Amino acid sequence: MKKKNIIGVLASIFLLMGVTLTHAYEAGEVPNVGTIHGQVIFSGTPQAPVQFAVEKNPEICGQERSLLKVETHNGFLVGAVVVLENVRKGKPFPTQAFRGNLPGEGEFRYEGGNSLGLRVKTKGCNFGPFTGVIAADEAVRFQNQDTIKHVLHSFVSKDTKGRILRTVHNQDLSPRDEIDRVFPSDKMKDGVVVRIICNRHDFMQNWLYVVDNPYFAISDQEGRFRIDEIPPGTYTLLVRHPVLGEQRQEVTIEARGDLQVGFQFVNE
Amino acid sequence: MKTRGIRYLLFGLLMGSYGLVCFLPPAEGAVLDGLMGGVEESLGKRAEKKGERLIIGNFYQAERPDSHAPIGVMQDHTHNKGEFMFTYRYMYMYMDKMRNGTDNLSINDVLSPSRENFAVTPKNMTTQMHMFSAMYGLNDTVTLMAMLPYVMKEMEHQNRAGANFTTHSSGFGDTKLAALWRLYAFETPSIGAHRFHLNTGVSLPTGDINPTDNTPLGNNSLLPYPMRLGSGTVDLLPGLTYTGVRNDVSWGFQALGTVRIGYNKQGYKEGNRYQVNTWGAYRWAKWISTSARLNWQQWYNIKREDGQLQTTVGPAQIPLVPTAYPKLQGGQRLDLMGGVNVLFPEFMGLENHLNVEAGAPIYQYLDGPQLRQAWSFWVGWQIVM
């Protein structure tokens, strides 16, 4: 009986390891890759930025700050996060950096390689752009380049808009300090988005969508996005925005194909 | 042999609990996170209907004057990982008049052979405490606390001949070590924030239980129980704390116990003590709030006795003084306290709180004759870094 139990436990462990391995993304050469590109259209009345009177550290943060939660340009949506789901093998994670809106010089930098390698450079009371991406189970480096303290508070949510937010980390980010924080998958569970805020400066708010592969893009000033080097196959393409929600499409990438898709969000 | 066994067991428990706190893998949330799915779904739906977000597990107290309880309440909040808080508290307590049950007694009542028949009676007592404490957010689950008080006591007496004399004792009191465990927290803008944490701690017997002073009985006489600076025993300090805040109003509830383990080297143990605090505060401005607090305390009589303490005097074996009798130490009391909290958010680059509180009992029942409490005053300075 005991022997059977041991075999059962070992079998379960191997099974779990197998499940884990099959879910891990693997960087490697894939032939005949294709591309998706498109635009995210916004229709309706653009939202006005939320205005904040700066109470703490105006000498660093400025006297007034605003937060534009839905950024549009000529009818296109800026900062929508486009994610291709369930790609298990393909290109390495790219190296890229995205600046936050002025004032402030916050930046999300993705080191790339075998992992996403997110670095959050906080400067001028700005973590970085309003939206970005994050990966579970790898360290995110938070660098405070300000000479004041920030209190980094991160939450995870199971839905795109973050209706129920669960605290993941809540801790001081001392002046000129940097800390590494892992967002463990057991804590993230089926969370799709991480919200980060500063408890001392309420205009510092950002949304990071969870990705497990490098096939993501963030719509630019013209609402455009492009994801390349995609292995041929059928996938779910998601577009997510913290205020406008989520849209999805089934897409099929042909060998060496170039697929154009479009999304439209309506602000009622 | 049995006593030694209990000591080893206690030492093991103490070390074990600290090992548990210090060497567990870093915890990343409240103890009950993930176990309240039904509650969260229900609250989440209600919040969504109002266009709000439900936030789980946020124990952060925004920098507001009432983010800390009135200064007389301890272990009322937890800290973020890596955050330190240093506190200095000063307490002054004045006790006057003797009481038995809810009846006040005159000096004659205590000394008269036809009444309580003691040779000496306390007239009044002052207790001052300088308390130095530190809290540290070990991780997102546990906040550690250590507190060392310096205690100064003074008691004035009168004997049957009408002569007055005063005794003094001073020195460090018992050291308190505690771990505060975040249990659960939820908030939405319309229902406010609600936070629960568990208090666990021990009191270590660093306070002197053999204080002496010159009395009419002689020089360096052993002073009775109320003049002692510690319990002489390892005490457990279990408790539960709830705090809430919505807009400019905050409130809290805390139940704390002091459970004595074993007997001290003088052969007695103080009675267990239980207290319940409930308070409410209103924030008038970003930097100032005022509070009202009710504090219920119940403490029990001493078990066994200090064999070295003289309890009678003269050939007639007249009872010496009520403070020397183990069965005259228990009681219950309800205090009403009013306080002011002031926040200096950037003083010396750090978050500072200056808190003051004062009040008096509105009910007290004493297993007397025993000195009743007249009033108490607290002031404290807290620095969060």
Annotate A10-36 with b (16+ C-beta within 10 A) or e (fewer).
eeeeeeeeeeeeeeebebeeeeebbeb
Contacts of B82 in chain A (CB under 8 A): 171-172
Q: What is the rounded average pLDDT of the residues A192-211?
A: 93
Q: What is the C-alpha separation between A221 and A219, in angstroms, rounded?
A: 7
How many CB atoms are closer than 10 A to CB B14? 15
> Looking at residue B350, what is its pLDDT?
81
How many CB atoms are closer than 10 A to CB B219? 8
> Which of A167, A178, A183, A188 should be substituted to probe chain B, the one whose Cβ sees the most B Cβ atoms within 10 Å?
A167
* Facing A168 at nearest CB: one of B28, B53, B63: B28
> Looking at residue B20, what is its pLDDT?
59
How many CB atoms are closer than 10 A to CB A1? 5
> Which of A57, A172, A193 should be substituted to probe chain B, the one whose Cβ sees the most B Cβ atoms within 10 Å?
A172
Q: What is the rounded average pLDDT of the residues A236-250?
A: 94
User: If interface means Cβ-Cβ distance under 8 Å, which residues of chain A face chain B?
Assistant: 55-56, 151, 153, 155, 162-172, 184, 187, 199-200
Query: Nearest-CA distance from A47 to chain B in Å?
Result: 16
pLDDT tens-digit readout, A9-62: 555 554 444 444 445 888 888 889 999 999 999 998 888 899 998 988 899 999
Token output for B236: 């457990």
Q: What are the CA-CA distances from residue B370 to residues B271, B306, B319, B325, B333 (Å)?
A: 15, 18, 14, 10, 13
Q: Which residues contact B253 (CB under 8 A, 6 or more apart)?
A: B241, B242, B243, B276, B277, B278
Contacts of B60 in chain A (CB under 8 A): 151, 153, 170, 199
Residue of chain A nearest B136, judged by CA positions: A171
Cis amide bond preceding A242, omega within 30: no
Tell me the three state secondary structure of residue B220: strand
> Looking at residue B71, what is its pLDDT?
96
Residue whose pair of structure tokens reads 């960087």 in the numeric block: A27
Q: What is the C-alpha separation between A84 and B17, in angstroms, rounded?
A: 47
Query: Nearest-CA distance from A165 to chain B in Å?
Result: 5
Contacts of A187 in chain B (CB under 8 A): 28-29
Residue A198: pLDDT over 90: yes
Q: Which residues contact B166 (CB under 8 A, 6 or more apart)?
A: B154, B155, B156, B157
DSSP code, position B96: E
Query: Nearest-CA distance from A3 to chain B in Å?
Result: 31
Where chain B has pLDDT below 70, the residues are 1-28
The closest alpha carbon to B116, from B316, B321, B304, belongs to B321
Dihedral of the alpha carbons of B21, B24, B27, B31, in degrees to the nearest 10: -60
Query: Nearest-CA distance from B130 to chain A in Å?
Result: 29
> Looking at residue A145, what is its pLDDT?
95
- What one-character-per-residue DSSP string does B107-163 give? HHHHH-TTTT--SEEEEEEEEEEEEEEEEEE-SSSEEEEEEEEEEEEEEEEEETTS-
The closest alpha carbon to B224, from B317, B115, B122, B100, belongs to B122
Residue whose pair of structure tokens reads 């003083």 in the numeric block: B347
Q: Name the amino acid, one letter, at B39.
A: V
First to last CA, chain B: 47
Q: Judge: B345–A165 Cβ closer than 8 Å, yes or no.
A: no
Task: Judge contact between A39 and A76, C-beta under 8 A.
Answer: yes
The closest alpha carbon to B233, from B213, B200, B211, B258, belongs to B258
Sign of CA dihedral A259, A89, A218, A47: positive
Q: What is the rounded average pLDDT of the residues A236-249?
A: 93
Inter-chain Cβ pairs, chain A and chain B, closer than 8 A: 65
> Looking at residue A17, what is its pLDDT?
45
pLDDT tens-digit readout, A140-191: 999 999 999 898 999 998 888 888 898 888 888 889 999 999 998 877 778 8
Task: Judge contact between A78 and A226, C-beta under 8 A.
Answer: no
> Looking at residue A19, what is its pLDDT?
43
> Looking at residue B318, what is its pLDDT?
93
ipTM: 0.77
Task: Judge contact between A25 and A248, C-beta under 8 A.
Answer: no
> Looking at residue B2, what is its pLDDT?
54
* Facing B29 at nearest CB: one of A151, A165, A167: A167
Query: Nearest-CA distance from A121 to chain B in Å?
Result: 20
Q: Judge: A163–B54 Cβ closer than 8 Å, yes or no.
A: yes
Contacts of A166 in chain B (CB under 8 A): 29, 33, 55-57
Residue B103 forms contact with A (CB below 8 Å): no
> Looking at residue B38, what is its pLDDT?
83
Q: Judge: B83–A166 Cβ closer than 8 Å, yes or no.
A: no
Q: What is the mean pLDDT of chain A?
A: 88
Q: Judge: B48–A163 Cβ closer than 8 Å, yes or no.
A: yes
Q: Which residues contact B192 (CB under 8 A, 6 or more apart)?
A: B244, B245, B246, B247
> What percentage of chain A exceeds 70 in pLDDT?
91
> Looking at residue B300, what is its pLDDT?
96
Q: What is the C-alpha separation between A156 and B51, in angstroms, rounded?
A: 18
